[in-house]
C-alpha cells in the first residue's frame, strides 16, 4: 500500500508542476512578450554579426574599394581598415563600422558582397532579416544598445 501512495504523490506533483507552468505562461504581460522578442532580435543581430565576421573575404573583388565607391565607407574608414595587418582584424573592423551605417548603406553593402563574388554571404543574411521582419533595417545597429519597451 505504501508503493501505491508514493505513486499517487508523484502524479499529484507532476500535475501541480504542469499547472503552475500553465499559470505562469498565462500571466505573462505584454511587456514580458516584448522583452522576449527584443532578446530574440538581439540574438539574431549577434548571429548576423558573427556570421559576417567569419564569412566575409575582405580581399575578394576589392570589397573595400567598392564600398568606398558606393559611399558605404569613407576614404578615412578605408585607410583605417587597410592599415591593419591581419585579414581577420580588417573584417572585424569593417563589421564594426557597418554598425554605424544606415539601412540603405547596409543594403548596399550586401549588394556589394554579391558583386564581389560573395553572393552566398548575402543570401544567408537577407532571408534571415526577412524571416525576422527586419527588412529595410541595419541589423547591426542595435548591437550594444539597451533594449527599450515600445
| Chain segment 14-29, per-residue pLDDT in tens | 333 444 444 444 445 5
In a domain, 17, yes or no: no
Residue 125 lies in a domain: yes
pLDDT at 76: 97
Domain membership flag for residue 78: yes
Q: What is the CATH number of the domain that holds 55?
A: 1.10.533
- Distances, alpha carbon 13 to alpha carbons 23, 24, 27, 149, 150, in Å: 15, 16, 21, 37, 39
Report if residue 7 sits inside a domain.
no
Tell me if 96 is assigned to some domain.
Answer: yes
Residue 94, pLDDT score? 97
- Judge whether 22 lies within some domain: no
pTM attached to this predicted model? 0.66
Q: Could you give the number of structural domains in the chain?
A: 1
**Domain containing residue 54:** 30-142
Nearest to 30 by CA among 142, 150, 113, 116: 150
- Domain presence at residue 15: no
**What is the percent of the chain where pLDDT is above 70?**
66
Torsion on CA atoms 49, 52, 58, 63, rounded to nearest 10: -90
- pLDDT tens digit sequence for 52-81: 999 999 999 999 999 999 999 999 999 999
pLDDT at 134: 78
3-state DSSP assignment of residue 59: coil
Amino acid at each position: 500500500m505504501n508503493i501505491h501512495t508514493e505513486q499517487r504523490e508523484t502524479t499529484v506533483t507532476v500535475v501541480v508542476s504542469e499547472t503552475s507552468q500553465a499559470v505562469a505562461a498565462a500571466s505573462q504581460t505584454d511587456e514580458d512578450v516584448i522583452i522576449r522578442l527584443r532578446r530574440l532580435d538581439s540574438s539574431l543581430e549577434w548571429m548576423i554579426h558573427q556570421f559576417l565576421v567569419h564569412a566575409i573575404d575582405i580581399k575578394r573583388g576589392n570589397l573595400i574599394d567598392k564600398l568606398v565607391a558606393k559611399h558605404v565607407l569613407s576614404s578615412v574608414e578605408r585607410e583605417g581598415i587597410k592599415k591593419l595587418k591581419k585579414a581577420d582584424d580588417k573584417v572585424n573592423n569593417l563589421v564594426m563600422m557597418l554598425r554605424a551605417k544606415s539601412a540603405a548603406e547596409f543594403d548596399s553593402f550586401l549588394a556589394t558582397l554579391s558583386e564581389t563574388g560573395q553572393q552566398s554571404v548575402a543570401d544567408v543574411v537577407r532571408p534571415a532579416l526577412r524571416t525576422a521582419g527586419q527588412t529595410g533595417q541595419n541589423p547591426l545597429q542595435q548591437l550594444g544598445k539597451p533594449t527599450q519597451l515600445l
